[in-house]
Structure 1
Amino acid sequence: MRFYLLLALALSCLAVSAQITDSTQKVIPGRANSAQQEKKPYIIFISADGFRHDLADKYHATHLQVLRAKGVQATSMTPSYPSVTFPNHYSLATGLYPSHHGLVDNTFFDMKKGSGYSIRDRLAVEDSTFYGGTPIWVLAEQQKMLTASFFWVGSETNIDGVRPTYYYRFNDKISIDTRLQAVRDWLTLPEDKRPHLITFYLSWVDHAEHFYGPNSKETEEAVHQVDDAIQRMTNIVDSLHLPVNYIFVSDHGMAQVDTTKVVLLPDVVDTTKFIVSFGGTMIHLYAKNKADIAPTYTALKTVAKDYEVYLPEETPARWHYSDRDDRYHRIGDILLVVHYPLIFHSRTMRMIPGEHGYDNSIPDMGATFYAWGPAFKTGLTIPPFENVNLYPLLAHILGLKITQPIDGSGNVLDNTLKK
């Protein structure tokens, strides 16, 4: 039951596993679009990890600026709490808050299962029992519409017994040329074999921000790298003359870390009594004996400095992260939430200059939303909205019926679409 993860896992948005070298496309045989689905529009759903809401303007991403002007842009998109990669990519895919879909953090422990989840644990990442809700690709496949994925959280496992028809296991070493060629190949398949939803993930900006900070020249270069990739993608796809809609998002923003203070795991935490899931901005403490919760909580409240201490029933309601929200009982018995812009640290780790995971109302955590294509209005700017509202937008454009309750509402983004 011991699950003590040091701050090495605080680099939460880096490659899921450096050991994965599989670069082969996986294809589920025997599937085809129904005749009705063959006539539907197409969506390429793109995530640039850590692409904060202001980065396109801050670093003059000229291609994205031109493309968003042809469609819709939000001043910011609010990530779900906690503002880290795996929970938010899965919220984007399901329309559910993390406490409702089960991925409550990048690392956590499930006491009922007796096992933990970590973004670097391939067995856990591909264990379908960790994933609740109905991802948009599962919804589509269930309704006889083919999908493809060049990476997205959850796309590598059988959720409700379903994977995308075409998918890749996460391997960040696959070149952008290969990824773009795959998109072209998918969209030139015969109509009955052609995916109408493609998810596409880029990690470059997040990597640069973590290691060099969001204000660095390395982050600027990564933004331009994304900008160039999107231009190349649109040039390729637009030449095919298909009704393709593009939705470009990020999972969260990024903060410049205050590196002048070191915030360590408090000594009052007895690690023989608690399973500790350690993250850069939040620590979950899971009690092996529930009798140890109250005295440890009291001791932590007494010594707390540079972080807040919560019982799950005490978290802010706007986080949707309380014991009442916790459908899978995976939120810690005690939560330590560091003050922005500090991070929890380990003496074995060097200090990193960029981090996320903070309160999702903090402007630096704001994500990006741009959308363009035949379904969208042009030249429209909208105010911030919660990312769970993207799911019903995707379903509406693709003409899919949502079959389970979700947290998002179709009314929020309905005004972005042409009537």
Structure 2
Amino acid sequence: MRVITALIILFFPAWLMAQADITQHIVPGRSNSKQQQQKPYVILISVDGLRYDLVDKFHATHLQQLRGNGVAAKAMIPSYPSLTFPNHYTLVTGLYPAHHGLVDNAFYDKKRNETYRLGNRKAVEDSSWYGGTPLWVLAEQQQMVTASFYWVGSESAVKGVRPTYYYRFSDSIEMDTRIQAVKNWLTLPEDKRPHLITFYMPQVDHEEHMYGPESNQAEAAVHFIDECVDKMVRMTDSLKLPLNYILLSDHGMITADTVHQLSMPSAIDTTRFKIPDGDVLVHLYANETKDVQPAYSALKQQAVDYDVYLANDIPARWHYGAKDDYYQRIGDMILVPHAPKSFNFRHRKSLIGKHGFDNALPEMQATFYAWGPAFKSKLQIPAFENVHVYPLVARILGLTITEKIDGSLEVLQPVLR
């Protein structure tokens, strides 16, 4: 565990470590209505980077047993781009990234003349960047108490609402303490007890980035997660509550080609375009519209081992083109490398494991398991898109969806008893 912690410190952006706020934040004056006190419970666990095949590849026996008593998908298809922030927010809004506004881990907004970066805490906590209605907001609006031990968006008052109980991201809190917090929440009086809990676990993603998804370190991280989930389930089983677990991930991982990386194409005039950090997806935002077409034509002639798309020509299956860009945050052009290659404009040391590529690639596929009284037992289902998780959770909790979403309950309705 010391090795994992050291790597997290090395890899994670400074904001994740700089402000060691380990206190629980509680929004006062919240309580479950009498009606909501009778509802089931959902614990939504994200294991960042848990590729669809790793539980079996590394023989994570507890997760194998838990999914065997419930539902297991062949895979879950992440939204494009298959990156952490866009997909975590998709899971809790039921919206594709271009529809909820987090179109990348880093992107530029022309209207605001500002850049959003996952490493900028001020932006991360600014609710004006976030569209949609996260599950905890939906629940709180309907007088159901929620809690979050980390999730993208949970530190920001989206629509003026945070979870009743939440933490600012910090790796300073030991995993056993986090698990104990879940039990503590579930032993609160009925009017104060959260019925939706989100719980985020970053360890697998970190080890894959540093050593690759096939590495011994990634295997050790999967086993660490396996033990933690088993501990949480055993600890909460004693409470005799109607607890439903959904364990999933945001994306998969591929071993990157760190030798043959792609340099800045000479066709790009950096004085004419804003280019946020990006290696598996590069956005080009033109300072002047007249520069787009000439640059596009030149890039198309140069393109080797990557594709270049105008905003109007991005593949429709990604739901990422100009007509889907509700917040106008996707570049006038995007450059998409052919996996496992990636761009390295700034000649930095490259990570061994990468994600963010075409969400149709098997290596980008995520995990979905679910068990508890709401779910059928010993059920295997085909791969599905992650936008459908939102209406599933809303149905289990008896919440009314109040806005148009991209997910549909019909897709996952068959997993329910």
TM-score, length basis structure 2: 0.96
Alpha-carbon distance between aligned partners in 1 of 2:287 and 2:31, rounded to the nearest angstrom: 49
SS at match of 1:192: coil
Question: 2:157 is matched by which residue type in structure 1?
Answer: N
Match of residue 48 from structure 1:
47
Pair 1:353 & 2:352 matched: yes
Alpha-carbon distance between aligned partners in 1 of 2:144 and 2:185, rounded to the nearest angstrom: 14
Match of residue 5 from structure 1:
none
Cα deviations by residue, 1:393-419 (Å, 9 ceiling, x for unpaired): 00000000000000000000000000x
Cα deviations by residue, 1:152-173 (Å, 9 ceiling, x for unpaired): 0000001000000000001122
SS at match of 1:227: helix
SS at match of 1:109: strand
User: In the TM superposition, what is the alpha-carbon distance from 1:270 to its structure 2 partner?
Assistant: 1.3
SS at match of 2:358: coil
SS at match of 2:409: coil
User: In the TM superposition, what is the alpha-carbon distance from 1:388 to its structure 2 partner?
Assistant: 0.2
Question: 1:269 is matched by which residue type in structure 2?
Answer: I
SS at match of 1:117: strand
Match of residue 121 from structure 2:
122
Pair 1:302 & 2:301 matched: yes
Alpha-carbon distance between aligned partners in 1 of 2:59 and 2:409, rounded to the nearest angstrom: 32
Alpha-carbon distance between aligned partners in 2 of 1:192 and 1:153, rounded to the nearest angstrom: 26
Closer/same/farther in 2, CA of residues 226 and 358 from structure 1, 3 Å limit: same
Cα deviations by residue, 1:164-221 (Å, 9 ceiling, x for unpaired): 0000001122110110111011000000000000000000000000010001000000
User: In the TM superposition, what is the alpha-carbon distance from 1:13 to its structure 2 partner?
Assistant: 7.5
SS at match of 2:17: coil
User: In the TM superposition, what is the alpha-carbon distance from 1:352 to its structure 2 partner?
Assistant: 1.9
User: In the TM superposition, what is the alpha-carbon distance from 1:14 to its structure 2 partner?
Assistant: 6.3
Alpha-carbon distance between aligned partners in 2 of 1:90 and 1:81, rounded to the nearest angstrom: 12
Cα deviations by residue, 1:114-164 (Å, 9 ceiling, x for unpaired): 101000000110110110000000000000000000000000001000000
Match of residue 63 from structure 2:
64
Question: 2:204 is matched by which residue type in structure 1?
Answer: V
Match of residue 103 from structure 2:
104
Question: 1:35 is matched by which residue type in structure 2?
Answer: K
Question: 2:117 is matched by which residue type in structure 1?
Answer: S
Pair 1:233 & 2:209 matched: no
Cα deviations by residue, 1:59-101 (Å, 9 ceiling, x for unpaired): 0100000000000000000000000000000000000000000
Stretches of structure 2 lacking an aligned partner (at least 5 in a row): 1-9
TM-score, length basis structure 1: 0.96
Cα deviations by residue, 1:284-337 (Å, 9 ceiling, x for unpaired): 010111111111111111111111000011111110001000000000001000
Contact 1:268 1:299 survives alignment (8 Å): yes
Contact 2:145 2:194 survives alignment (8 Å): yes
Pair 1:243 & 2:210 matched: no
Match of residue 329 from structure 1:
328
Alpha-carbon distance between aligned partners in 2 of 1:354 and 1:144, rounded to the nearest angstrom: 42
SS at match of 1:357: coil
Alpha-carbon distance between aligned partners in 2 of 1:172 and 1:315, rounded to the nearest angstrom: 37
Match of residue 4 from structure 1:
none
Match of residue 316 from structure 2:
317
Which is worse superposed, 15-24 or 57-66?
A: 15-24
Alpha-carbon distance between aligned partners in 2 of 1:139 and 1:354, rounded to the nearest angstrom: 35
Match of residue 168 from structure 1:
167
User: In the TM superposition, what is the alpha-carbon distance from 1:259 to its structure 2 partner?
Assistant: 2.3
Alpha-carbon distance between aligned partners in 1 of 2:61 and 2:225, rounded to the nearest angstrom: 11
**Superposition pairs of residues 72-83 of structure 1, within 5 angstroms:** 72-83=71-82
Match of residue 113 from structure 1:
112
User: In the TM superposition, what is the alpha-carbon distance from 1:18 to its structure 2 partner?
Assistant: 2.5
Alpha-carbon distance between aligned partners in 2 of 1:12 and 1:85, rounded to the nearest angstrom: 14
Cα deviations by residue, 1:208-235 (Å, 9 ceiling, x for unpaired): 0001000100000000010011000001
User: In the TM superposition, what is the alpha-carbon distance from 1:278 to its structure 2 partner?
Assistant: 2.4
Contact 1:13 1:206 survives alignment (8 Å): no
User: In the TM superposition, what is the alpha-carbon distance from 1:348 to its structure 2 partner?
Assistant: 3.5
SS at match of 2:62: helix
Q: Percent identity?
A: 59
Pair 1:262 & 2:244 matched: no
Question: 1:22 is matched by which residue type in structure 2?
Answer: D
Match of residue 6 from structure 1:
none
Alpha-carbon distance between aligned partners in 2 of 1:183 and 1:15, rounded to the nearest angstrom: 27
Contact 2:13 2:119 survives alignment (8 Å): no
Cα deviations by residue, 1:243-266 (Å, 9 ceiling, x for unpaired): 000000000000011223020121
Match of residue 18 from structure 1:
17
Match of residue 253 from structure 1:
252
Match of residue 6 from structure 2:
none
Contact 2:101 2:326 survives alignment (8 Å): yes
Alpha-carbon distance between aligned partners in 1 of 2:228 and 2:60, rounded to the nearest angstrom: 11
Contact 1:107 1:277 survives alignment (8 Å): yes
Alpha-carbon distance between aligned partners in 1 of 2:107 and 2:363, rounded to the nearest angstrom: 24
SS at match of 1:268: coil
User: In the TM superposition, what is the alpha-carbon distance from 1:350 to its structure 2 partner?
Assistant: 1.4
Contact 1:99 1:320 survives alignment (8 Å): yes
Match of residue 4 from structure 2:
none
SS at match of 1:247: strand
Pair 1:37 & 2:36 matched: yes
Contact 2:11 2:206 survives alignment (8 Å): no
Alpha-carbon distance between aligned partners in 1 of 2:344 and 2:221, rounded to the nearest angstrom: 26
Match of residue 92 from structure 2:
93
SS at match of 2:374: coil
SS at match of 2:323: coil
SS at match of 2:322: coil
Stretches of structure 1 lacking an aligned partner (at least 5 in a row): 1-10
Contact 1:148 1:167 survives alignment (8 Å): yes
Match of residue 279 from structure 2:
280
Contact 2:50 2:251 survives alignment (8 Å): yes
Q: What RMSD, in angstroms, separates the aligned Cα atoms of the two structures?
A: 1.2
